[in-house]
Structure 1
Amino acid sequence: MNKVYIVEGRHDYNRLKEIDPNLMILITNGAAISMTFIEELKRLEEDNELILMVDADNAGERLRRIITRHIPSVKHIFIKKEESTSKNGKKVGIEHVNRELLKEALSDIKTPTNLSDITFEFLYDLGLLGEPDSKKRRLALCEYLNIGYVNGKNLVSRLILFGYVQKDILEALHELET
């Protein structure tokens, strides 16, 4: 089964080709994704492994939600915002990631499983939702798990998507606190 990487733009495409010219890459052409493109992905999904690698910004997260909604089996690569910010600090994108980090990211593919016991109540009990410092704690957890940053509402979905269970979250928080 071939791997097909899905990126937002031409610069992302070029950056990945620098790492490995043999990668199969599709470009969404930004956040305005069409249903024609979604249908193309659905056809490709039949014989290929689809891997989503979008920017760590609002447009990238929007794309991630749309594509995941239509193609639940799509796999994910996350790159932290601070690792994908341009030198002048004004732009965020895969094209700004240094070569070594990009190579590492290509081997850290998250596969959706949806086998989880995570609930909103569990995250509230841990202070990841509904507390003054919840955002800070969520950010640290998301970074530790390398699942991209999400708000409280979407944290449950992201953890469930990748099959994290309560034990995983408790262990992660314990590691973060020590």
Structure 2
Amino acid sequence: MQIKEVIVVEGKDDTAKIKQAVEADTIETNGSAINKQILTQIKHAQELRGVIVFTDPDYPGQRIRSIVDQHVPGCKHAFLKKSDARDKLNRGIGIEHASKEAIQLALKSVYELRKAHVSDITKEDLMRYGLVGGAHAKEKREALTSYLKIGYANGKQLLKRLTMFHITKVQLEQAMKQIQKEKWDV
């Protein structure tokens, strides 16, 4: 699998793991030490080839993703579930611990989600499904974002994340039906 965009990762171990899974070029942020020079490099890559931000599914990874998003609009995003990014001893979380298959699936999902139509989901839809402001809302959001492979989002971020990935009302409904079968009465 060859990726035309440049993939933004946190460090050299992530780059090594990505290169085992796909043919791609990367830019490393050096973890949370992301600076203006790296942001300029990412912006240039976005203008020339496009960028996929692929950071660890933890707080520092989300922070880096947010910084890149603020400074370089229009980037695509790939996400791993925490369970797919844990080391064997369950002590560390990171792309460097993920399987080749999990990385390929996360990157493939970037393209599949981009094919969807523009999102028509409203805040009322999120409330109706109990994704915000209800009992077990956090658990339902975790299940939904994991199912859609769009990375965890809190109640305030969820609508923006669904819109960013062009998730439609129909896709939301299908996902919630599947989640209902697996876990909850929605």
TM-score using structure 1 length: 0.90
1:9-28 to 2 correspondence within 5 Å?
9-20=11-22, 22-28=23-29
Counterpart of 2:87? 86
Q: Which SS does the other structure have where 2:89 is aligned?
A: coil
Moved more, 165-174 or 51-60: 165-174
Listed as ranges, the gaps of 5+ residues in structure 2 are 182-186
User: C-alpha root-mean-square deviation of aligned residues, in Å?
Assistant: 2.1
Deviations 1:101-156 (A, max 9, x none): 22333322254989322232321122111112111111111111011111111111
Q: How many pairs were matched up?
A: 177
In structure 2, distance between residues paired with 1:114 and 1:103: 23
Counterpart of 2:180? 177
Query: Aligned to 1:129, which of 129, 132, 135?
Result: 132
In structure 2, distance between residues paired with 1:35 and 1:114: 34
The residue type equivalent to 2:156 in the other structure is K
- Would you say the 8 A contact 1:52–1:77 is kept in 2? yes
Counterpart of 1:75? 76
TM-score using structure 2 length: 0.86
The residue type equivalent to 1:73 in the other structure is G
- Would you say the 8 A contact 1:5–1:51 is kept in 2? yes
Query: Aligned to 1:138, which of 134, 137, 141?
Result: 141
- Would you say the 8 A contact 2:116–2:168 is kept in 1? no
In structure 2, distance between residues paired with 1:36 and 1:115: 33
Counterpart of 1:31? 32
In structure 2, distance between residues paired with 1:46 and 1:30: 23
In structure 2, distance between residues paired with 1:52 and 1:163: 17
